[in-house]
Amino acid sequence: MKRVGIIGASGFAGAELMRLCATHPDLEVAFAAADSQAGTAVGGLYPSLAAAYPGMVLQPWEAIPDDLDVVFLALPHGTSQSIVPKLSAGYIIDLGADFRLDDTALYPAWYGQEHTAPELLDDFVYGLPELFRTSITGATRVAVPGCYVTTAALTLAPLVTQGLIEPTGIVVDAASGVSGAGRAPKASTAFSTVDENFTAYGLLNHRHTPEMQMALSRHAGTDVELLFTPHLAPMNRGILATCYARPTGSPTGDDLLAAMQDAYEGEPFVVVSETIPSTKATLGSNSVHLTVQMDERTGWVVAIGALDNLVKGAAGQAIQCTNLALGLPETAGLAAAGMYP
Amino acid sequence: MKRVGIIGASGFAGAELMRLCATHPDLEVAFAAADSQAGTAVGGLYPSLAAAYPGMVLQPWEAIPDDLDVVFLALPHGTSQSIVPKLSAGYIIDLGADFRLDDTALYPAWYGQEHTAPELLDDFVYGLPELFRTSITGATRVAVPGCYVTTAALTLAPLVTQGLIEPTGIVVDAASGVSGAGRAPKASTAFSTVDENFTAYGLLNHRHTPEMQMALSRHAGTDVELLFTPHLAPMNRGILATCYARPTGSPTGDDLLAAMQDAYEGEPFVVVSETIPSTKATLGSNSVHLTVQMDERTGWVVAIGALDNLVKGAAGQAIQCTNLALGLPETAGLAAAGMYP
Amino acid sequence: MKRVGIIGASGFAGAELMRLCATHPDLEVAFAAADSQAGTAVGGLYPSLAAAYPGMVLQPWEAIPDDLDVVFLALPHGTSQSIVPKLSAGYIIDLGADFRLDDTALYPAWYGQEHTAPELLDDFVYGLPELFRTSITGATRVAVPGCYVTTAALTLAPLVTQGLIEPTGIVVDAASGVSGAGRAPKASTAFSTVDENFTAYGLLNHRHTPEMQMALSRHAGTDVELLFTPHLAPMNRGILATCYARPTGSPTGDDLLAAMQDAYEGEPFVVVSETIPSTKATLGSNSVHLTVQMDERTGWVVAIGALDNLVKGAAGQAIQCTNLALGLPETAGLAAAGMYP
Amino acid sequence: MKRVGIIGASGFAGAELMRLCATHPDLEVAFAAADSQAGTAVGGLYPSLAAAYPGMVLQPWEAIPDDLDVVFLALPHGTSQSIVPKLSAGYIIDLGADFRLDDTALYPAWYGQEHTAPELLDDFVYGLPELFRTSITGATRVAVPGCYVTTAALTLAPLVTQGLIEPTGIVVDAASGVSGAGRAPKASTAFSTVDENFTAYGLLNHRHTPEMQMALSRHAGTDVELLFTPHLAPMNRGILATCYARPTGSPTGDDLLAAMQDAYEGEPFVVVSETIPSTKATLGSNSVHLTVQMDERTGWVVAIGALDNLVKGAAGQAIQCTNLALGLPETAGLAAAGMYP
């Protein structure tokens, strides 16, 4: 058993890490920190965790023990960069944005502040296993991608990398469940605001945009430019991205689907088929579902991906990366089957 | 009081007509037909209507009385064209697709069957008041637009008509509540399928596509071509369309918003503002909410519209057209205020 | 047109009053106050009201004009009692709890504070038209009942008043939509907390308990004692109360149902039938749906009622009372038909 | 690895068994049958299972192989009794009602038909581990309780068995998510019917009533009589039961809570606390959450329990029983932590 610490255990991604670790055969949570909730019982803050973690109490992060094997950070943007330098654990897995972007200039442009630990960026590999597995295997520092980014990058990567679509002019139109907005109560995520509602937000400037471009550009070896429009759907979890791009040649829909299937052949968590993905098929699992079609009439390629934003889009992918880092079976502790209904 | 008959009163659009007529100052439902439910009490099929229509029983449509002033048809596609020739009412308002398209060749192409009464098409005006008010005023036959079409056409018309966007290469990415799929139980609209789910459907070939193109082309006086992707959101009502187009010149977002505001100046049911529309703001009302932005970085225009698919997208718009046809105040019996929450 | 002022227009009951007044033939909102939101446009706080109230801005309540005919107060408990003495309008309709209870000792016991204006209590009539219509007709001060109280009182009154059930030992087990908890963001009403969740709250001591007992005792002329357990259901609106009581004699279910039907004969907003009530049948309307059954096996009477907590349970009932007070048609501006789906 | 067969894999309980077996360390699904869907790919019917069961196809049940260790039946009532006699597997775990009741006279009374294999009833033990663990350990035939029954029995058993409440006059008022009604599309479970709705159903005569009475009577050693009222809440999963009973003596709430905590001391899936249970805290897990209070004012005991109807109320409990039957760790393959949000 590897001893795990979670910093930021009061947020949804942190709580999801605790849920997943509770049934992971090789990871056990030895320390859970949440500064804002220090002193609160885990099962008090999250009754859902009461049966699995009886007696465990949230700590201030500075109380972190020295003997942890793995530390997960699930913190608001800008927080990890001040904590990581003080950690001694062998494996550090960051679910935040602080160590994802390779161009430090993007932080002030999209996040509104300078990066305070740019020298650490090179220590981190980008934790999207299906696209960058080799670099994650055995790594000691992993920056886990954003939820929207994982969806869009896995949907578009086979097409752009194989040169089947133009790398610019792409539109990523996505919808997310509300858990992506975090646990803190606010008017925009109140039940009465969100229930029976569908709306767009973050028009033109959502922070996941440059990360999508980076992930795709790096994988494809060419500059990708896209517009990203997120929407909020009245549900807890799930992201579905509908992506529009122009083909480079004259592929049929079957050509595109075959290319996508080839790219993910053998992947335990990727399902590529003619079935239109739905978020619900991935609920609670680490799976991503994909499809693609070609509209001969208008000349648009339409590619669609879906996943659970808190699992494959956050905590599950973090554990998948941890498994790779530690040399465990990549699927350990992760469900491929979604909870339905 | 004008005496109204509703053929297809068992469907959601028909029931919504009954709801709206119940508080309309000048319309009263004298006859409600639903062949599949003939003999059932209105309040038995729809307990929501029990208090407003005590004792009223659904009839077979052939029992229609001779003295009705207005007949609404809210029927599956292909049904109205066989009934309309047999009706004698002065005003016929059809909520189905049968008399919307002006090119009869589109029916076999998109609806899979020949039109059986093409000679009647010219009798019908297209019932989208904000774009075609003049022709609706005083008309005796109105074909009310589809719900997605109303959303997309009102969102894009000012931009394409004023030549601010390219009329081709447009993407309409929209999400709808489940009521758009009708009342008949099926696996795809079961609660357990839809709740906590977001998915796409009707990829590339949804039937509202040619109608969107027709409405926009006719209003703009130029051929419009677009790709339409509908999604299903876990909610009862509401449509939000996020539309992507290329600008013709170099407009700013403010230019585009001003153009949209000018186009709908004085419209009682249209709200144009910088606020991103949400379906919930229109719930139960006949209002449509619109906005537009310009992404300088990628060169995309993003225009968004939202409405209640059963009101402004169906029964409300039908009554708005009826008001215009009969010479009543256009807003009679229609709420501009949405139900919130 | 009567000129209406609403104090507390930023809350859900206040916003619902504005929605209903927007289509009321005889009431127009001339003044909307919300101290916490003074200076905000009505349509900014509630985009749902943007089309109906363009340009209207929320005011501090002290800016109230002198010439209002009717003032509605939709304020947190304890607030009305300090404002009412300063109002000059001919008709004051309070949607809060301050003037509902006739025994001032109940305020400290259930609300935790002494009443500061007990001398005004006698000025107010209790605004439940189906039970106390005579006293409301022509009244100038009305205290509108709580949402749970309206449901339970209308469900149980015919049975207890006609002596068909024991007046003590009653259980009222009810579920409400989330809007009953108000607009202010809090953890307990966040979407992520409430969605896909069903829970109980306020065990043993919910504040509506003594009001239920008072309303029923006053109508029946005998002391009623009951236990009330509220639950929170994942929906915006609606209350359903399932009530358990012991019969006094040996009535059949038919006897009980007939007694209930007799009691509400001719009521425009009450539907009594064998159909089990559902909240959705009343959505957006001022209707209440009722039924009752007798379980011979265990000797329990089961009576069930449902309504929309913001309409018949708040703003709609307030307008119904206003109509009675002003001598308008009781149903003016109120829908009997629910919005479905 | 034990080889498992599932008969009735197309229903929700069957699909949930497949989800849970996919990550169970000692059980693997070797055969999945669903007569109505024979020939359909598992991942075609349930895309949620596509990643976990690639290539597996649903079979007719008669194709069952001889070498299965465990057979689960998840079938409509009345079906198991004709299949069980033909099965040769060492362990048969039935999730239906056919082998739950010990009094065969109850079948015609509550299920409307005679039992056709009454001689097999004695072979089956009743699979509620927290109440009847001893008999389940090593058993070869297990009848898994109904979802409502599990909730009510675990909530009330400590109180009635310890003689703290009267065994008659009990009211069980419960709400369930929609998945309890099964997968087949019908009007009563359509999204448009259920969403934003709360209603009661099965008044007085729900089939789980006699089973609740049996489970409690058997555990307590005294005849229990209760009234059960189920409700339908707009959510996928979860049952919460609010139970009302009369105390035998004068216990305080603390006395009752302590008795409940004592009864479940050391149970891995039972959480007893002052926290009011909520269904969401148990989502996807095999846990049950309980509390109890005493209302001195009215003399009612209020006890509340919550669980996930498809896990602890069906498939999870079936696996818990299987673990006990096979001598595996009781918690193998079962999550104690709920999925939140």
Question: Within a 13 Å sphere around the CA of A264, how many CA atoms are in the beta-carbon half?
Answer: 27
The architecture of the domain spanning B2-123 is 3-Layer(aba) Sandwich (3.40)
Q: Which of B21, B147, B243, B321 is catalytic?
A: B147
CB contact under 8 A, B190 and D193: no
Q: Is residue A145 a contact partner of residue A153, using CB atoms and an 8 Å limit?
A: yes
- Helices C147-161 and C129-136 cross at an angle (nearest 10°) of 90
Burial class (CB within 10 angstroms; exposed 0-12, middle 13-18, buried 19+) of D58 = buried
Which positions in chain D touch C225 (Cβ < 8 Å)?
Answer: 297-298
Name the token pair of B182: 């009708």
Q: Is residue A110 a contact partner of residue A44, using CB atoms and an 8 Å limit?
A: no
How near does any CA of chain A get to the CA of D339, in Å? 7
CB contact under 8 A, D52 and A280: no
- DSSP code at position D109: I
Q: What are the two backbone dihedrals, phi and then psi, of residue C316, each rounded to the nearest 5 degrees?
A: -65, -45
Residue C95: which of C124, C66, C137, C135 has the closest Cα? Answer: C124
Going from the C-alpha of B315 to that of each of B14, B51, B93, B114, the distances in angstroms are 7, 20, 10, 26
Question: Within a 13 Å sphere around the CA of B292, how many CA atoms are in the beta-carbon half?
Answer: 31
The DSSP element (H or E) to which A242 belongs, if any, is strand A239-245
pLDDT band at B128 (very low <50, low <70, confident <90, very high): very high
CB contact under 8 A, D271 and A47: yes
Name the token pair of B21: 């007529």
Q: Which among D195, D201, D283 has CB closest to C196?
A: D283
Distance between CA atoms of residues A62 and A33, nearest Å = 8
Q: Which residues contact D190 (CB under 8 A, 6 or more apart)?
A: B183, B185, B189, B190, B191
- What mean pLDDT do residues C256-276 have? 98
Exposure letters C44-70 (e unless 16+ CB within 10 A, then b): ebbbbbbbbbeebebbebeebeeebbb
Distance between CA atoms of residues B29 and B20, nearest Å = 10
Distance between CA atoms of residues D115 and A157, nearest Å = 59
Distance between CA atoms of residues D221 and D271, nearest Å = 25
Q: Is residue D57 a contact partner of residue D40, using CB atoms and an 8 Å limit?
A: yes
- Residue to mutate among C40, C192, C339, with most A CBs inside 10 A, is C192
Give mean pLDDT in consecutive 10-residue pieces for chain D, a chain of 341 residues.
98 98 98 96 98 97 97 96 95 97 93 93 97 98 98 98 98 98 96 98 97 98 98 98 98 98 98 98 98 98 98 98 98 98 97
- Residue to mutate among A48, A189, A235, A240, with most D CBs inside 10 A, is A48
pLDDT band at A144 (very low <50, low <70, confident <90, very high): very high
CB contact under 8 A, D22 and A335: yes
Number of residues in chain C: 341
pLDDT band at C60 (very low <50, low <70, confident <90, very high): very high
Chains contacting A (3 or more CB pairs within 8 Å): B, C, D
Residue C275: which of D191, B49, D206 has the closest Cα? Answer: B49
Q: How far apart are the first and last CA of chain C?
A: 33
Going from the C-alpha of B197 to that of each of A272, A341, C280, the distances in angstroms are 19, 10, 21
pLDDT tens column, A77-132:
999 999 999 999 999 999 999 999 999 999 999 999 999 999 999 999 999 999 99
Q: Is residue D230 a contact partner of residue D175, using CB atoms and an 8 Å limit?
A: yes
pLDDT tens column, B236-250:
999 999 999 999 999
Mean model confidence pLDDT for chain C: 97
The reply to whether ipTM tops 0.95 is yes
pLDDT band at B55 (very low <50, low <70, confident <90, very high): very high
Which positions in chain D touch A52 (Cβ < 8 Å)?
Answer: 335-337
How near does any CA of chain C get to the CA of D45, in Å? 24
- What mean pLDDT do residues C299-308 have? 98
- Helices C147-161 and C253-263 cross at an angle (nearest 10°) of 110
Residue C90 pLDDT: 95
CB contact under 8 A, B191 and D236: yes
Please state which of the four CATH numbers 3.40.50.300, 3.30.360.10, 1.10.260.40, 3.40.50.720 is assigned to the domain occupying A147-309.
Answer: 3.30.360.10
Residue B228 pLDDT: 98
How near does any CA of chain D get to the CA of B144, in Å? 23
**C-alpha gyration radius of chain B:** 19
Distance between CA atoms of residues B299 and B304, nearest Å = 16
Question: SS in 3 state form for D234-299?
Answer: CCCCCEEEEEEECECCCCCHHHHHHHHHHHCCCCCCEEECCCCCEHHHHCCCCCEEEEEEEECCCC
pLDDT band at A238 (very low <50, low <70, confident <90, very high): very high
Distance between CA atoms of residues A70 and A5, nearest Å = 6
DSSP per position, A250-308: ---HHHHHHHHHHHTTT-TTEEESSSPPBGGGGTTSS-EEEEEEEETTTTEEEEEEEE-
Residue B200 pLDDT: 98
pLDDT tens column, C72-124:
999 999 999 999 999 999 999 999 999 999 999 999 999 999 999 999 999 99
Exposure letters C82-106 (e unless 16+ CB within 10 A, then b): ebbeebebebbbbbbbbbbbeeeeb
What are the residue ranges of CATH 3.40.50.720 in chain C?
2-123
pLDDT tens column, C178-226:
999 999 999 999 999 999 999 999 999 999 999 999 999 999 999 999 9
Q: Classify D161 as helix, strand or coil.
A: helix
Residue A203 pLDDT: 97
Name the token pair of B320: 């708005």
pLDDT band at B284 (very low <50, low <70, confident <90, very high): very high
Q: Which among D185, D186, D236 has CB closest to B195?
A: D236
Percent of chain A with pLDDT over 90: 99
Q: Is residue C182 a contact partner of residue A192, using CB atoms and an 8 Å limit?
A: no
CB contact under 8 A, A240 and B200: yes
The DSSP element (H or E) to which B14 belongs, if any, is helix B12-22
CA D151 from centre of chain: 8
Which positions in chain C touch B281 (Cβ < 8 Å)?
Answer: 46-48, 50
Distance between CA atoms of residues D288 and D241, nearest Å = 11
pLDDT band at B59 (very low <50, low <70, confident <90, very high): very high
CB contact under 8 A, B50 and C285: no
Mean model confidence pLDDT for chain B: 97
Catalytic residue check, D21: no
Name the token pair of B229: 């992707």
Residue C240 pLDDT: 98
Q: Is residue B199 a contact partner of residue A278, using CB atoms and an 8 Å limit?
A: yes
Percent of chain C with pLDDT over 90: 99
Q: Is residue C127 a contact partner of residue C317, using CB atoms and an 8 Å limit?
A: yes
Q: Is residue A145 a contact partner of residue A124, using CB atoms and an 8 Å limit?
A: no
pLDDT tens column, A180-223:
999 999 999 999 999 999 999 999 999 999 999 999 999 999 99
Which positions in chain C touch D177 (Cβ < 8 Å)?
Answer: 196, 198
Residue B208 pLDDT: 97
